Amino acid sequence: MEDNNPVFSIITVCYKAQDIITKTVKSVLAQTYSHVEYIVVDGNSPDNTAEVVRSLSPSIRLISEPDKGLYDAMNKGL
């Protein structure tokens, strides 16, 4: 049987978020809908944001590289 459920993409953009990103990621991962693609775009934070995200789930697509601000990061996620 073919699965016709839509896939939802959830994008979180962040910078220097090591102290708050865990709560956000855990909230997204706690959702019960199974067809979710989760993308975190980190602006190459000098803190441990990327490492925290990596430690929470291998299924998160992490993009950690310099960007030109919030809207550039949002576009990368899209």
Of residues 39 and 5, the one with the higher pLDDT is 39
The per-residue pLDDT for 60 is 98
Q: pTM of the entire structure?
A: 0.91
- CA 39/CA 10 separation, integer angstroms: 6
The per-residue pLDDT for 2 is 63
Distance of CA 57 to the CA centre of its chain: 10
What ranges in the chain are assigned the alpha helix state H? Answer: 21-29, 49-56, 70-77
Torsion on CA atoms 62, 41, 8, 3, rounded to nearest 10:
-20
The per-residue pLDDT for 4 is 85
The per-residue pLDDT for 7 is 93
Residue 6, token pair as written in the block = 């839509």
Q: How many residues does the chain have?
A: 78
Percentage of the residues of the chain whose pLDDT score is greater than 90:
92
